[in-house]
Structure formats: C-alpha cells, structure tokens
C-alpha cells in the first residue's frame, strides 16, 4: 500500500477549514447587518 | 440586542429573518462530524491507492453539493423570471454562493488527491478544465450581483447568467464519457453499478447525506442574511 497519508490529512484539513470558514463568514456578515440595523434604528429614534 | 430609543417614536423596521439557534445547522454539523469520524477512523484504506483514496469521501460529496447548489440556483432564477418573487432571487443568490464554496472545495481536494495518484497536481483534461470554468462562471455571477444596485435588474441579469452557467453542469458530469480524460470514470454513478465494497459504500453515502444537510443549513443561513440585508435596504429606502 502506498504511503500517502499526508495528502489524505491535507484534503480533510482543507475541507474542514473551508466549511468552518464559510460558516464564520455568514455569521460575521449577519452580525454586521444587525449592527447597521441597530445604528439606523438608534439614529432614526434620535432624529424623530 | 437592539436598544429601544427613548423619548421618541421608534423608526419603522422591515421584517427580518428569525434569530436564535438554527437546529438544522446544529444537526448538519453533528452529522458531518460523524461522517468525518467514520471516514477517517472506521473505514479501511484502499489497497491500491492507500489513504489517499479516502479523499473520495469529501471530494465526491463536495461536487455533488456543488452541482445541486448551482443547478437549484439556476432553477430558482428561472422561476424568478416568471414569478418575480424576491424569495426566489434570494434563494438563487444563496444557493449560488454555497455552490461556489463547494466548487472551491472540489478544486482544492481534487489536486490533493491527484498528486499522489497521477503524479501531478493538475492536468488540463476536460473534467478538470470544465469544473474550473464552472467555478469562474459562478464567481462572475456573484461579482455581477455585487455590481448592480437595482434589485430587479440584478435578479434578472443574474437569473440569465445563472441559467447559462448551469448548462455547463451536464457537460462537466458527462465529460469523462464524451472525452478521453485523465479523470477516472465515476465509481458510484456508473452504468455497470457501484464499483466499491459495502463498507466504503456506507461511508460514502453517509458522507453524501451529511454534505447535503450542510448545503441545506448553509442555504438557510445565507438566505437569512439576504433577508436581513434586503430588510435593511428597504428601511433605508423608506427613510429617504
């Protein structure tokens, strides 16, 4: 059997990094939108 | 939590997506972890390819999800052209983005598998080249969406680009039959039946299920983001 376990580890590490990275990117973007909504609501409240 | 403004009427707010724990995402994450554990520790390596063969349990489900995501994105865009329902456009956008992420996964895991088996990270054969073109097409789709502010115009243009891009999917899948390629024939979607021992089949289909669940969870989360963003845009427009 050929010794290529490093490639197997690399592929799984890359996949896990990609999935976690994308999940984090969605959470960060959603939080940013929520912050902008909160800022707008605060500014709207002050301006009224 | 958003602090309520005091001493004056609150600004009008558009409906947003639900917040809190998404149980679909939790289940998808747990099932995916279980699939990884089974593939890494409870499935034997292939006698000829060694441990590199185990890359199949992430590589093939990844391209399955990529095809599913990009295909459904195109379909949703096509329906939007007739129904003009903003939810269809949001789904098309979300599914396309998830599809690009998974196509990126294919383009990363493929060369890592190819190097020990073929002796080269990349060869310009039909399957690999068409997959790269598909990735570029849908990357262009996302760039196009980001470049157009008008929501209806953005939905219409991206629906057409998405439909044209998705036409490539059958060619990518059938490329190994149409052209002489370095890429092997499918071991699962093979006309002569599944070319794999039972223990590997269980791991493979479990992984396929896990990645499909991940797709559902990602699209739900991404649609929630798109809904919140549209609500913010609506509220900003209403204020002007």
- pLDDT for residue B25: 93
- pLDDT over 60 at B10, yes or no: no
Q: What is the mean pLDDT of residues A9-22?
A: 97
> What's the CATH code, domain B23-225?
1.20.120
Q: What is the mean pLDDT of residues B107-119?
A: 95
Query: Using CA atoms in the order B150, B151, B154, B156, what is the torsion angle rounded to 10 degrees?
Result: -120
Q: Say whether residue A24 is in contact with chain B using an 8 A CB cutoff.
A: no
Report the number of secondary-structure helices (H) and strands (E) in chain B: 7, 0
Q: Say whether residue B9 is in contact with chain A using an 8 A CB cutoff.
A: yes
Instruction: Give pLDDT tens digits for B60-92.
Output: 999 999 999 999 999 999 999 999 999 999 999
Planar angle of CA B232, B233, B236, nearest 5 degrees = 85
Q: How high does pLDDT run on average in chain B?
A: 89
Of B10, B12, B115, Cβ closest to residue A7? B115
- pLDDT over 90 at B178, yes or no: no
Q: Please report which confidence band the pLDDT of residue B191 belongs to, taking 50, 70 and 90 as the band edges.
A: confident
How far apart are the C-alpha atoms of B227 and B93, rounded to whole Å?
11
- Beta-carbon separation of A1 and B45 below 8 A: yes
- pLDDT over 70 at A48, yes or no: no
- pLDDT over 90 at B187, yes or no: no
- Closest Cα in chain B, distance from residue A24 (Å): 11
Which residues of chain A have a CB within 8 Å of the CB of B45? Answer: 1
The conformational region for residue B84 under phi > 0 = left, psi -120 to 50 = alpha, else beta, is left
How far apart are the C-alpha atoms of A26 and A36, rounded to whole Å?
15
Instruction: Give pLDDT tens digits for B199-214.
Output: 999 999 999 999 999 9
CB within 8 Å of chain A, chain B residues 129-168: none
- Closest Cα in chain A, distance from residue B76 (Å): 21
Q: Please report which confidence band the pLDDT of residue B112 belongs to, taking 50, 70 and 90 as the band edges.
A: very high
- pLDDT for residue B40: 95
CB B184 within 8 A of CB B127: no
- pLDDT for residue B4: 40
Predicted model pTM? 0.90
- pLDDT over 60 at B1, yes or no: no
Instruction: Give pLDDT tens digits for B14-54.
Output: 566 667 788 999 999 999 999 999 999 999 998 889 999 99
- pLDDT over 80 at A32, yes or no: yes
How far apart are the C-alpha atoms of B61 and B68, rounded to whole Å?
10
Which ipTM value was assigned to this complex?
A: 0.90
B50 three-class SS: strand
Instruction: Give pLDDT tens digits for B130-159.
Output: 999 999 999 999 999 999 999 999 999 999
Which residues of chain A have a CB within 8 Å of the CB of B236? Answer: 40
How far apart are the C-alpha atoms of B136 and B104, rounded to whole Å?
10
């Amino acid at each position: 059997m050929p010794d290529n376990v490093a490639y197997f580890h690399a592929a799984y590490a890359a996949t896990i990094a990609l999935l976690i990275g994308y999940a984090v990117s969605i959470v960060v973007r959603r939080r940013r939108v929520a912050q902008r909504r909160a800022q707008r609501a605060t500014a709207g409240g002050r301006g009224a | 939590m958003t602090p309520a403004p005091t001493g004056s009427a609150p600004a009008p707010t558009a409906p947003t997506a639900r917040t809190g724990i998404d149980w679909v995402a939790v289940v998808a994450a747990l099932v995916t972890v279980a699939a990884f554990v089974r593939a890494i520790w409870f499935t034997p390596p292939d006698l000829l390819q060694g441990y590199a063969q185990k890359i199949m349990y992430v590589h093939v489900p990844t391209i399955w999800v990529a095809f599913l995501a990009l295909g459904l994105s195109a379909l949703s865009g096509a329906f939007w052209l007739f129904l003009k329902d903003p939810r269809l456009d949001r789904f098309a956008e979300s599914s396309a983005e998830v599809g690009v992420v998974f196509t990126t996964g294919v383009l990363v895991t493929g060369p890592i598998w190819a190097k020990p088996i073929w002796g080269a990270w990349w060869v310009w054969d039909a399957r690999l080249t068409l997959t790269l073109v598909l990735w570029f097409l849908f990357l262009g789709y996302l760039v196009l969406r980001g470049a157009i502010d008008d929501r209806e115009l953005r939905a219409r243009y991206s629906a057409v680009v998405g439909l044209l891009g998705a036409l490539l999917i059958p060619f990518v899948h059938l490329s190994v039959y149409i052209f002489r390629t370095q890429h092997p024939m499918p071991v699962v979607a093979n006309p002569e039946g599944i070319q794999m021992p039972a223990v590997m089949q269980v791991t493979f289909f479990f992984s396929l299920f896990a990645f499909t669940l991940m797709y559902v969870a990602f699209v739900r989360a991404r649609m929630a983001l798109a809904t919140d963003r549209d609500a913010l845009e609506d509220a900003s427009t209403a204020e002007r």
